[in-house]
């Protein structure tokens, strides 16, 4: 007998912002004089008895250091959805930039999933200590990942990986060497949490990524890959678009249901 694939819901959890940024930062070489509002998010995948986090956000200490406007501890935002961070068992880390990974400490009982190529670059490659990469990193990134490795709470995926029935990790480099997106079976068929494979929806529509690039050719190939997997372009969710807060059903303060 064939088993049906579980159906999940996806929630966007805004934990900081909005911030006013030059458009050219999130849409490469376009709109140098224009400004756009963005926010910082993590995501929740729920269904089939599972609660899976996508990214961990920023720890309160670093939020104070960075003076993040509108910051709310992700633990407190998740509680509005009835989720206790201390009980979360699974966290998928899309990539190792500071605004997506330095909240590891907020999930003390979780196992974290990262691409091996991402781990190898940030933790083993001396190029990761060069100024362009340090601009999007932080010492807390390295210490947090080291802590996970030492305690056996880090699992490295090597390319595409069936994570759970109906949830797949998709290797999607370009923004970083080993970024991964998350394909999810939802009531609207296949949706993808792309994180910073695109910062805003326009990037997928116009095929223009952000200015934070490690490999433009790989990035364009990742766009082709994700767009071929998702059921429709409106279900391919970027990392920082304000529309995720304003154009989807509100479930609680700073939480919307994307699919």
Domain boundaries, the chain: 9-257
Nearest by Cα to 244 from 80, 8, 23, 11: 11
pLDDT value, residue 118: 98
pLDDT < 50 stretches in the chain:
1
pTM over 0.95: yes
Q: Within 13 Å of residue 203, how many CA atoms lie on the same side as its CB?
A: 31
- The per-residue pLDDT for range 43-97, each reduced to its tens digit, is 999 999 999 999 999 999 999 999 999 999 999 999 999 999 999 999 999 999 9
- Classified by CATH at the fold level, domain 9-257 comes out as Metallo-beta-lactamase; Chain A (3.60.15)
User: What pLDDT was estimated at residue 3?
Assistant: 66
How confident is the model at residue 188, as a pLDDT? 79
Residue 1: what pLDDT? Answer: 46
Task: Determine the pLDDT at residue 4.
Answer: 87
CA distance 227 to 128: 29
Secondary structure (H, E, C), 110-174: CEEEEEHHHHHHHHHCHHHHCHHHHCCCCHHHHHHHHHHHHHCCEEEECCCEEEECCEEEEECCC
Residue 204, pLDDT score:
97
Cβ-count burial of 33 within 10 angstroms (0-12 exposed, 13-18 middle, 19+ buried)? exposed
Question: Are 210 and 175 a contacting pair, CB within 8 Å?
Answer: yes
Q: What tokens does 133 get?
A: 């990469």
């Amino acid at each position: 007998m064939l088993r049906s694939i579980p159906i999940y819901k996806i929630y966007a959890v805004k934990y900081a912002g909005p911030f006013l940024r030059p458009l050219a930062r999130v849409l490469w070489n376009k709109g140098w004089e224009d400004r756009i509002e963005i926010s910082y998010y993590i995501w929740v995948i729920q269904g089939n008895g599972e609660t899976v986090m996508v990214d961990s956000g920023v720890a309160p200490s670093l939020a104070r250091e960075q003076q993040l406007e509108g910051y709310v501890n992700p633990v407190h935002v998740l509680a509005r959805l009835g989720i206790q961070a201390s009980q979360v068992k699974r966290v998928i880390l899309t990539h190792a930039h500071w605004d997506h990974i330095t909240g590891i400490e907020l999930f003390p009982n979780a196992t974290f999933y990262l691409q091996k190529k991402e781990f190898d670059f940030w933790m083993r490659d001396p190029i990761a200590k060069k100024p362009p990469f340090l601009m999007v990193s932080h010492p807390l990134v390295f210490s947090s990942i080291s802590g996970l490795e030492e305690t056996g709470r880090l699992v490295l995926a090597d390319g595409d990986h069936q994570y759970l029935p109906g949830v797949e990790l998709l290797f999607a480099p370009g923004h970083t060497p080993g970024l991964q997106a998350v394909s999810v079976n939802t009531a609207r068929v296949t949706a993808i949490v792309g994180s910073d494979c695109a910062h805003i929806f326009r990037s997928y529509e116009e095929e223009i990524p952000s200015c934070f690039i490690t490999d433009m050719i790989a990035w364009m190939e990742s766009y082709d890959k994700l767009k071929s997997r998702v059921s429709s372009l409106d279900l391919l969710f970027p990392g920082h678009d304000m529309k995720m807060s304003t154009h989807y059903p509100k479930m609680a303060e700073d939480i919307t249901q994307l699919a």
